[in-house]
Structure 1
Amino acid sequence: MSHPFVLLISASLTDEMAIIQEGYAFIPKEFSLESYKFLFSDPLMIINAYSISIIVTLIGTFASLLIMALLAYPLSRKIMPMRNSLSFFIFFTMLFNGGLVPTYLLYTNFFDVKNSLLALIVPGLLVNAFYVILLRTFFHVSIPSAIIESAYIDGAGEFRIFCQMVLPLSMPVLATVGLFQIINYWNDWFNGLIYITDSSYYSIQILLNTILLNAQYLIDNVQYSTEMENAGTIPTQGVRLAIAVIGVFPILAAYPFFQKYFVKGLTIGAVKG
């Protein structure tokens, strides 16, 4: 599994002409940092984009887990009225949605999230129907009803039971869903493409996509321009690989901290104790 990433990093550190002439290799034929120099030609821009992505990922993941857990827990309780109807309504959103144009008009004209951090947090990411159903199933199957009943006898309310008993017992599934949400928020570029026009709100994915498109534009149009004689030296192949390295590295760094919960969260309930 690590071989593709090693090849990716090695190729991003290889000279452009060496890649074109000899292809990719695990050991660079000719070491070069030109791709990264091109990407970091404006380091403040990269730092700002990383900051936006980190803020959006942390806030979005925390808010998403909190909202989905608060929604899933009542649905797992048999005493909740109309829980089946509400569960069907949530499931229905997995099959049908309002479409891109109505969604865009709703978020820009009514909620006014354009060119804001909310545009990168809320649309299409904050609540995921599949994760809500996953959490509801975990709460229903894996949280012993005897624990909740004993807490009732001791006088605890629903919110206290949820915070002090249900959440601590649900760390595997919360970590699993949290990892998925971290990946979703970090890799998201569509919301930025639709709702962000101010470059100061560019996430790292939007910025890297913009850099890649600009580099490709220069290469494709260099023959029509006399003012871009050096544009042909842009390492387009290396830039693509360097973009992939910069985009995926934080996720690779975070994954080991979630791995034990991730595996347990996926397998929980598969075997009865």
Structure 2
Amino acid sequence: MKTKSASDKIISAFAYIYMILFVIVAIIPFMTIISTSITDEQYIRANGFDIFPHEVTWAAYKYVLGRGSTILDAYQVTTFVTVVGTLFSMLITTMMAFALSRKEWKMAVPISFLVYFTMLFNGGLVPWYIITTKYLGLHDSLLALIIPYTINAFNLLVLRSFISGIDNSIFEAAKIDGANEFQLLFRIALPLALPGLATICLFYAISYWNDWWLGLMLINERELYPLQLLIRAITSNISYATSSGSNSSIAAASIPEEGVKMATTVLTIGPIILLYPFLQRYFVKGLTIGSVKG
């Protein structure tokens, strides 16, 4: 085995120190959020935020989870939308990316340009709302939280680039053996594009899980509120109650405002963070799409 030189050891030491410092800087915000969510509100107002909890209390979690079925309903809605929406988006995006990656298809370049064009220009909020509600009928339904985000132009182009990097001779050999286009996609392209698929899948899952805007625009029935919109409504109501000059502010003074904000953050980011370790081994490779050719 080759022995490391002194310069290599110094560089490795600096690299390890840098990574340790980076990890600490990345963890501190999460520690602060968790600490604040279980720290007494009066202590926070008097001393500010800290990475370690003081005068531990679960009042913030009791307040948020005290809504019972409301929070559970919102979790069910968001979980359903995230799972179904991600699978549906991946299916449509993958098929379209594969089609646009086929160099022999004459319409691949024009349609790719149209997809890219939508990243630069759009019709605006009012036309989007009219088309979504009046013509597509997406209002007060779970489909309203899924269909508008079915295809993301950036994700589509990234996945197309990844599939385009697969050696075309593999597809030609499969065609000689009698494979059709669906077999080329599902039996050859998808297994070879697994890192890209995992990366785009994570992007779609995060997008669906964190979305509150579609619920705000298209959902009126509270039982269909996604989790993020319900959390936004709770924190907005608390902020209004604590800042108003009415008698209700007296009762609102006992509400752990900062603790509730942090507790809702913990409850909403937890599930999506747990998804990352399962996709982490593909994630780094997927982010290097197009960086190396040959």
Q: Please classify the TM superposition score into its range, dividing by the shorter chain length.
A: over 0.9
> Normalising to structure 2: TM-score of the pair?
0.89
Q: Alpha-carbon deviations, 1:204-235, whole Å to 9, x = none?
A: 100000001111121122x322x664221111
Q: Which position in structure 2 is the counterpart of 1:217?
A: 240
> Normalising to structure 1: TM-score of the pair?
0.95
Q: Which position in structure 2 is the counterpart of 1:116?
A: 141
The Cα of 1:66 is off from its aligned counterpart by 0.8
Q: Is the CA contact (8 Å cut-off) linking 2:195 and 2:282 kept in structure 1?
A: yes
| Structure 1 counterpart SS, 2:253 | helix
Q: Alpha-carbon deviations, 1:83-132, whole Å to 9, x = none?
A: 11111111111111111111111111111110001111122x21111111
Q: Alpha-carbon deviations, 1:180-205, whole Å to 9, x = none?
A: 11111111010000001100111110
Distance in 1 of aligned mates of 2:291 and 2:135: 44
Distance in 2 of aligned mates of 1:166 and 1:22: 56
Question: Over the residues paired in the alignment, what is the CA RMSD in angstroms?
Answer: 1.3
Q: 2:208 aligns with which of 179, 185, 188?
A: 185
> Aligned pair 1:163/2:214, yes or no?
no
> Aligned pair 1:206/2:244, yes or no?
no
Letter in 2 for 1:130: F
Distance in 1 of aligned mates of 2:99 and 2:217: 34
> Aligned pair 1:146/2:203, yes or no?
no
The Cα of 1:51 is off from its aligned counterpart by 0.6
Q: Which position in structure 2 is the counterpart of 1:135?
A: 159
Give the % identical residues: 43
The alignment of Structure 1 onto Structure 2 pairs a total of residues equal to 269
Q: Which position in structure 2 is the counterpart of 1:252?
A: 273
Distance in 1 of aligned mates of 2:36 and 2:81: 30
Q: Which position in structure 1 is the counterpart of 2:74?
A: 49
Q: 2:258 aligns with which of 218, 224, 237?
A: 237
Letter in 2 for 1:214: N
> Aligned pair 1:34/2:59, yes or no?
yes
Letter in 1 for 2:252: A
Letter in 2 for 1:100: L
> Aligned pair 1:126/2:150, yes or no?
yes
Distance in 2 of aligned mates of 1:39 and 1:237: 12
The Cα of 1:136 is off from its aligned counterpart by 1.0
Q: Which position in structure 1 is the counterpart of 2:101?
A: 76
Q: Which position in structure 2 is the counterpart of 1:11?
A: 36
The Cα of 1:268 is off from its aligned counterpart by 4.1
Letter in 2 for 1:270: S
Q: Alpha-carbon deviations, 1:239-269, whole Å to 9, x = none?
A: 1111111111111111111111111111244
